[in-house]
Structure 1
Amino acid sequence: MSYLAVIDLGSNSTRMVVEELQADGTFAELKRRKLDTRLAEGMDNNAGELTEVAMTRVIDALIEFQADYQTYEDITVVGIATAAVREATNQADFLDQVYRAVGVEVRVLTGDQEAYYDYLGAVSALDISDAWLLDTGGASVELVGIEDRMAANFISLPFGAVNLSEKFQLNGAGVVDPLLITKASQYVSDQYDHLPWLEDETTLPIILLGGANRSLARLDRLRHGLPADSNFHGYEMTTESVLKTFDEMANMTHEERAAALGTEANRADIIISGLLPLVELISRTAADKVIFSASGVREGLLQEYRMTL
């Protein structure tokens, strides 16, 4: 019996999944964990460096995860990192700290690689032919145009829930100033202007990945009397409902957003910024619905790993 652990050093969360290799070459998930570590927090005000506090949060999380995956014999550990580490000017120092703490050499994904693994993970788990794919992370957004189940276009953009919130002060205690939201929206829109393939008159669904989008799914499920903690993979919302939820969040205080988010109250300061890339994408593409995927970059990595066995 052999096992694979994938550790994902994201810009907002540090995650771990443990998989068991089956006789037919597929993997069965045994354990999944997530800790909110906000690795990207404070980078803009720290000359592009990861802060000591944020790095310590991640190292502590990895040590905690190590105690979990070391209970499995014959386990291979794969580490990946995304936007925050990719952009950090002290990347090498941080990766050295990680290696000294848990002995894992972390692979820093390029933006294109991250977008591709998102695509690979999503299409392997959803029966869909043509769609947009949006993964909103803490410090980057991955966008993919899917045609006939193939990635026709893909890109990673250097903004996400954490750095947008900090850049435009969308994380105050009271109701966020609408002017600040307008400025942040315009910033996202300006970034989208550089993607001519994003303009499409054909109405396509948007596949959603990322923490802010998962929070959106849970909010909508609660509104419809559905359990928020169950698997939301394949769950759908109309874009009209998405925009309504965004407006509601934008008109709440931090305390009210925290109450609405419940177990994810710690996202109250980044939920508005986290939904902005989706709101702008809806306005660009005239999409009529969104489909949530629980399968993304880690699952895409597993698909690739299987092909190398």
Structure 2
Amino acid sequence: MKDSKRIGIIDIGSNSIRLAIYELDSGGAYRVISEFKESARLSQKIGPDGALPPEEIQDLVRMLSHFKRICRSHEVTECRVAATAAVRNATNTEQIQETLSRETGWDIEILSGQDEARLGFLGMIQTMDIEDGFLVDIGGGSTEISLFRQRKLVHSVSFPFGAVNTTRKFAPDGEFGEGPLKAIREMVEEALAREPWIASSPGLPLVGLGGGVRTLCKINQRRRRYSLPQTHNYHLPAADVDELAAWLPGLPAEKRKKIDGLSKDRFDIIVPGMIILQTVFQTVKGSHYIVSGAGLRDGLFFEAFYPAVSSEKPIAEQSSDNLLALHSTAPAAHIQRVCRTALKLYDALAEGGTHRYSPRLRMCLHIAAKLYRIGASLLYYQYPKHSFHMIAHTRIDGLSHREMLLCALIASYKAKNRPSRRSSHSKIF
């Protein structure tokens, strides 16, 4: 993009170290242009004295130095680096922070548990259209739970157990019998009982953050032969999670590695993470699970570089405006005219009683009219096909998966040679 700047966000997590590179243009449009990951398992490397050994600190220096070279090659001008539970809870936190800062030249933030909860909520709430619910972020070394009402954070708490350190404590070999599973559930239940507000609002959805939750989503999608490769805003039925919780622990570790959707570096930690998630869901008496593809790194970016602007527009409208700004190929006046005409026809048909569709469908029509030409940014010829692909496979925050496909189908509709794409997505419709 012209007149743009590139920003690096690094999350030093308890399981992995991740770098996301954002591009932000002068008009305010943004996108992620690259992501990188190093497996670290810091929670497993903490010594008996509670400290991260010097050789592991140097390994962390190596990873961050590698990320710095990547940032330099991508012409990143600003970088925010934050460390979470494993570093925060180590007995030599100050030594780790000082060494990393000295060796890399970056300021290293040590996030508190409350910081993690707040930033995870910020990343989620600016990318999802949801009013009330619980939010759970299961990391490698901690679990944050939050309650939000009317899109405002009400309560939050951080617990010192996550997928990695729970695996290390109860099943270091990656094998799970009845004993370890029962012990994990009891540990989580006892912790949750110390926070009475967690069980005080039954019937709300539970939004899940983190790699473990996204992995469960991918496994479920493969088993259902789900046709849209999107995890963000995926609704996961409680019965499906219960089925996975009954199936996965009983598999030998070697067989677990071969499950479609489960990466080999998570074959051992997926089970404790899943048991933590299921136990939280049962305690809050949730209605269903929702997967968020946005979380801590997004919150770090939004807080520092893309603060929320008060707007009456729904999240989906804001997100589609961002997508249009990234791929605009028509004069603004033309796009505005198309949108006005489409909505005028929709409203006239509604007033005449021809249809009784919901306001959500009116919004989908508006988004489709706004984005119908973005495919021309790839290639003008056959741009409706490109527009379909870009809308269906580019995350439009605030829309359900079905709504994204509706937008894509409406935007790419032609009276002649009508697209026959709906059949491949029949399970979503």
TM over 0.5: yes
Residue 231 of structure 1 deviates from its aligned partner by 3.2
State the Cα RMSD in Å: 2.0
Distance 1:237 1:103 in 2: 42
Q: Which runs of 4+ in 1 moved over 4 A?
A: none
Residue from 64, 67, 73 that aligns with 2:66: 64
Residue 101 of structure 1 deviates from its aligned partner by 2.9
Partner in structure 2 of residue 299 of structure 1? 298
Q: Secondary structure at the match of 1:259?
A: coil
Residue from 28, 31, 46 that aligns with 1:25: 28
Residue 201 of structure 1 deviates from its aligned partner by 5.0
Aligned partners of 2:19 and 2:35 also within 8 Å: yes
Q: Percent identity?
A: 28
Distance 1:151 1:6 in 2: 23
Pick 1 or 2: higher relative contact order, CA cutoff 8 A, min separation 6.
1
Q: Secondary structure at the match of 1:2?
A: strand
Partner in structure 1 of residue 108 of structure 2? 106
Aligned partners of 2:215 and 2:262 also within 8 Å: no
Partner in structure 2 of residue 137 of structure 1? 139
* Matching residue's letter, 2:44: E
Aligned partners of 1:3 and 1:20 also within 8 Å: yes
Residue from 8, 11, 16 that aligns with 1:8: 11
TM-score by length of 2: 0.68
Aligned partners of 2:147 and 2:154 also within 8 Å: yes
Aligned partners of 1:12 and 1:138 also within 8 Å: yes
Partner in structure 1 of residue 274 of structure 2? 275
Residue 89 of structure 1 deviates from its aligned partner by 0.9
Residue 26 of structure 1 deviates from its aligned partner by 4.2
Residue from 89, 92, 95 that aligns with 1:90: 92
Structure 2, unaligned stretches of length 5 or more?
A: 309-429
**Kindly tell me: are residues 173 and 121 of structure 1, through their superposed partners in 2, closer, same or farther at Cα, counting changes over 3 Å?**
closer
**Kindly tell me: are residues 54 and 41 of structure 1, through their superposed partners in 2, closer, same or farther at Cα, counting changes over 3 Å?**
farther
Residue 245, structure 1, aligned to residue 244, structure 2: yes
Matches within 5 A, 1:207-226: 207-226=207-226
Partner in structure 1 of residue 44 of structure 2? 41
Q: Secondary structure at the match of 1:16?
A: strand
Structure 1, unaligned stretches of length 5 or more?
A: none
Partner in structure 1 of residue 283 of structure 2? 284
**Kindly tell me: are residues 282 and 74 of structure 1, through their superposed partners in 2, closer, same or farther at Cα, counting changes over 3 Å?**
closer
* Matching residue's letter, 1:6: I
**Kindly tell me: are residues 262 and 218 of structure 1, through their superposed partners in 2, closer, same or farther at Cα, counting changes over 3 Å?**
closer
Aligned partners of 1:261 and 1:268 also within 8 Å: no
Matches within 5 A, 1:71-220: 71-73=73-75, 75-168=77-170, 170-172=171-173, 174=175, 176-200=176-200, 202-220=202-220
Residue 253 of structure 1 deviates from its aligned partner by 0.9
Distance 1:48 1:211 in 2: 25
Aligned partners of 1:121 and 1:298 also within 8 Å: yes
Q: Secondary structure at the match of 1:89?
A: coil
* Matching residue's letter, 1:4: I
Q: Secondary structure at the match of 1:25?
A: coil
Residue 74 of structure 1 deviates from its aligned partner by 5.8
Structure with higher strand content = 1
Distance 2:223 2:65 in 1: 37
